[in-house]
Every structure is written in C-alpha cells, then in structure tokens.
Structure 1
Amino acid sequence: MTETTVRLPDTTRLVVSSSPHFHEDASVRKIMLVVIAALAPACLAGVWTFGLRALWVLLVCTAACMLVEALCVKLQGRASTLPDGSAALTGLLLGMNLPVTTPTWMCVVGAVMAIGIGKMIYGGLGYNPFNPALVGRVALLMAFPTALTTWVAPLASPLQWAGVDSVTQATPLGTPWAGEQLFSTWELFIGRTGGSLGETCVPALLLGGVLLIALKIIRWQVPVCFIGTVAVITGIAHLAAPEQVAPPLLHIMSGGLILGAFFMATDMVTTPLGRMGAVIFGVGCGVITAVIRLWGSYPEGVSFSILIMNAFTPLIDRYTAGKPFGVISHPGREVKL
C-alpha cells in the first residue's frame, strides 16, 4: 500500500442514525425497573401496615395489567411489550392507589381500565395522554365509590397477618377538622392511619422519590412545586380559618400527595418536557388538589389534579419546550435552516 492510498474505515463498525448523537446506557426497561425498585420500600410498608391482604392486592393488580397488555398486543398483531416493564409498573401503582379491602375482581376491572382504556387504546407506551394507573383508579372510584372509600385501620401489630378482622377507620382527610388533630404527627409520618396502600409511611415514599431524583429519572421541579403549592394554599387557608381548615402538615402527610407527587405526576410520557413546563405542571397539580380538598365535596384531589394537568401537557409544552436547533421563528411561521 502506497502513502497516497486512502484507507476507508470498516463500514461494518459504523452506526448511521439521525441526531441527537449523545447516547447513554438507559432504556425503558431499566428506567421502569428502577422506579419499581424505588416503590419497593413503600410497598413493604403497606404490607407491614395492613397485612398480607395488601400483598395480594398488589400482586393481582400487577399480574392483571401484564395480562391485559399481553392480550392487547396479541390482538393488534404486535410483538410483546411486557419486557419493558411498563405494564408491571402500572399495576403496582394501581394497587398502591387502592384500599386493602378492594375485591380481587375489582382489581382486575381496574387493570382493564388502566391498560386497555388508559394506554393501549392510544397505541401503547409513549402515546397515552393520561397516566394509566390513575385512569384505572378514577374509573373504579366513579363506578364503585363505596368500595374505593372504605378504609380500614392498620393492624394493631404487624405480626397479626392472619385471621384478623378489619376495623373501618376514617382517613385523616376524611375526618372533619374541628381545630384538633385526631392523629399524631408521628402516626401521619409513618402511616399508621387508614388509607390506600400507597398512603403509608412517608419516609419510604421519600426514600424512593429522592432516589429517582438523584438518578435523574424524574425532575425535582414537579414534586417540589406540587407539594409546595399545596402547603402554601392550605397554610394560608389554615391561618385564615384555623377552626375549619387543617394545617398544611396534615395535608402534606395525608392522602396520596407524596405518592402522586413523586411517582405519578412525574410520568415521562404524560408530563411536560422542559423545566419551566415541569414547574407549571407541578403548581397546577397543587392548586387543583388544594381547591378540591378545601372546597370540594371529595376529601382527596391528587388523582383528579394529575389527570387534569395531563390534558394540559401538550399546551404547556407548546409554549415552554423551546424550539429545535436550526429553527428561526417568524411571526406566524417557522423556517428551518
């Protein structure tokens, strides 16, 4: 070979693709598995608080969601999407939004609504405009309000996992506020109150949420703005009418606020792309949640607030996501270079 010979690279080692060309070792499957792992402490806390029946609800919801997705892709003639883990995560979140007394058949109905109506009808993962788990939860709440609002007290002892009769108990948000807190701050913090499986143990939820933020899987702006907005509005309302409105700390540690803020309002598919959009989304969720809790007929508002803001996500992205590199904006039109 002479010095003037041109040596071409081995074409078998070239990867031709469109931009962007920044790659990282991330995939849908890995992200879903990390989120499931982040939920594990809260799931264990729910089982510890309500007994093995809680584990059954979580398993049924997860298995049913996976089965429904498998049937949907089979009917559509597509390859299986179960390996990406999104159906399992949806089932786990659905179970965490249900009471421990939810009947098995109702868990299955919720899975059908979550996966079939909330996800696959739009084309599957990445195309759904609403959080699938919340679609299933709200559908069950509308269809079976009594079952979805019947709460039981935590077990007197975590060792009483078998043969224990459940005792109904009002949730902190469902108890009329009369200027006196019926549950101690410690009970609210560790979740020794009635509620859904995912409303227990604030430390476990925070541990998982901080992990997701540290790994940059979710944006911190959404949960911080969500929780902060609820705290500000309920705090002002409490100062204005302390005998009628519970203090902000009770609102923060009660209901599904922590679970929703860290694990459902941060869904990559149904939330805005940019930082400013995340701030607007979080504040919007907080405002709607506080308004429903303070002046609505329903004591909780997290699920409704997230679904409502999901509907505004495309509009928020339109005005906050920015323009792609190489696009010059002109009044009424865009020109690509």
Structure 2
Amino acid sequence: MTRSRFAIGATRVAIAAVLASLASPLLAQAWPDKPIRVVVPYPPGGNVDSAGRIIGAKLQEIFKQPFLVDNKPGAGGMIAAEAVAKAKPDGYTLFLGANGPILFSPLIYKKNSYDWKKDFLPISSVSFTPVVLQVNNAVPFKTVGELIAAAKKPGSNLTMASPGAGTQNHLASEYLQHKTGAHWITVHYKGNAPATTDLLGGQVQFNFDQLSVALPFIQQGKTRALAVGSAKRLPQLPNVPTLQESGFPDLTVETFTGLLAPTGTPPEIVQKLSDALRQILADKDVQAKFATLGAEARGSTPEQFKQYLTNEDKRWTPLIKQANITAE
C-alpha cells in the first residue's frame, strides 16, 4: 500500500511538472487576448511618454489589442519600475524605461527596490536622443577645450545647470570633470525647464541638454552648441563637433528609451514583441515621428539591448560611486 501511494504521488508530481512546462508555450500562443499596459516612469508629454504612445499605437495594429500607456512618475522612475518588476510576468505589463530608471535610480536613491539584471528581461531599444553641450551666448567659449581650460583656472566660478542628480546630463558633466581635472559648480534643478530658463537668463553659464530641448534655442541664437554626444555629427547641427572629436574618443552621451518585461515572462512573448518593435522602428513614418522629438528610432534584439544596457552600466555606475552622486 505504501509503495502504491508513493507511486501515485510520484505520478502526480510528474504530471504537474509536465503541465508546468506546457503552460509557458500555451500562454504565449494565446497572448495577447486583452489590453497590455505599458508603464512609463514620467508624466505625460515628455520624450518617454511620447515614445510610448508612438509605439503603442503601432503595436496595437499588429497585435489587435490596446497598448495602454500608464504614467507612474516619481522617485527617479523607481515607482514605475518597481511596479513592473513585481507584476505578474504574463506579458500584459511592460516597462518603457530610460537610463535613470532602468540603470541608476536604485543606486542614486540608495534603495534596492529592483535590479535590472535580475528583475527585467530586455525586449528592445526604442529611441536614442543625443545630449548637447551648450553655453549661454554671453559666455565667450567656442570649443569644449576653451571651456575646460577656463574651468581649470584658479578661482573659476563656472556654473553648470543640471536637471537633477544622476541624470545623463549630470553624469556627462561629472565625466568631463573626472577626465580633465576641471571643476565647476553644479546647480541641480527639478527638470529641464527651470534649468533651461536659468541658462537663457545667464544665472548659469552652460549645461548638457537633450537635442530635443536644446535645438530650438541653438537655432534661434540664444545658446551656442560646443559639442554633441552622438557618435557622429548630427544633421541638425552639422557644424558642431562630437565630444569624441573634441578630445574624448570613448565618450558618447545619449538618453535612450527601451522596452522591458518582468523576469519570468515567457520568452516567446518577449521575442514576439521584439520582432514587432524592430519592424515598427524601421518604418520611415515612425522614424520621422521620433525625429521630430530629436530622437533616432532604433530597435534591437533582446540580446543586443541587454548588451547595450550592460555596457552603459559598466561605463556610468563606477562614476556614480566615485563621485558619490545621490538624490539626497
């Protein structure tokens, strides 16, 4: 009798294991049969939100289900990221993140709420927006070298406007100081808008800003671009050198957006989404929409996006620790 019960128990365990192994493919085949939530870590109207709405409309066309943008701002994007990390990994909750919320916020805010390497599966990159180093027009510098040289002089009181601690804009500033031995005063603002206002008003001398924000002021002659953070010169600013041309051959500075899913999401769903996004982001009309945001639409495989995140993590995390950058 004991052996018989043991055999029955073992059979039940084996059946359960088989059913579990079949569950993921079956779920992936049925997906999606209801709306999908795309959680964005910023308020409506910004670049990440706009990216979510562009790709959401196109994903809806492909998968015949609504892709609903859910804005959850706060704590450097951690509120949104943590919500997705804890969500059921069934393909119905996705995270459209950027540099800070994905890679740096847990370190900067000193909270171990999630770890992108453990809690998320990269699906695809979506867009890349280069950063521009620009100065107020009253400032005489015409090159990055002139700015650095002035910042090295004793008694230099140059000030740089940052939209917040740990942003890509701030990290670019810290990188240049670390590499050159230059020093300037960093003034942190709550976002790009007040930082730009003070740059235009002359309260600060320069900043690093996304092309989408900086370009109108450069074109109007209100600020002067010294360098761009892209790997190649930008068609919008063909006469402005890159940071690499300006003496920093290993430096690119760009903000990215990318789509991720909670760890445990069936790989078949991740692959379907990645394939769809690469198709969408190769479309010329979609690329034109991103270009109006000052961004380049560019998809990737899950493996390529994971490698990109790994490289960015290795580049910037040691600098955050060395410079003791925190949100406090």
Q: TM-score, normalised by structure 2?
A: 0.28
Q: Comparing both structures, which one devotes a greater share of its residues to strand? A: 2
The higher relative CO (CA closer than 8 Å, separation ≥ 6) is in 2
Q: Comparing both structures, which one devotes a greater share of its residues to helix? A: 1
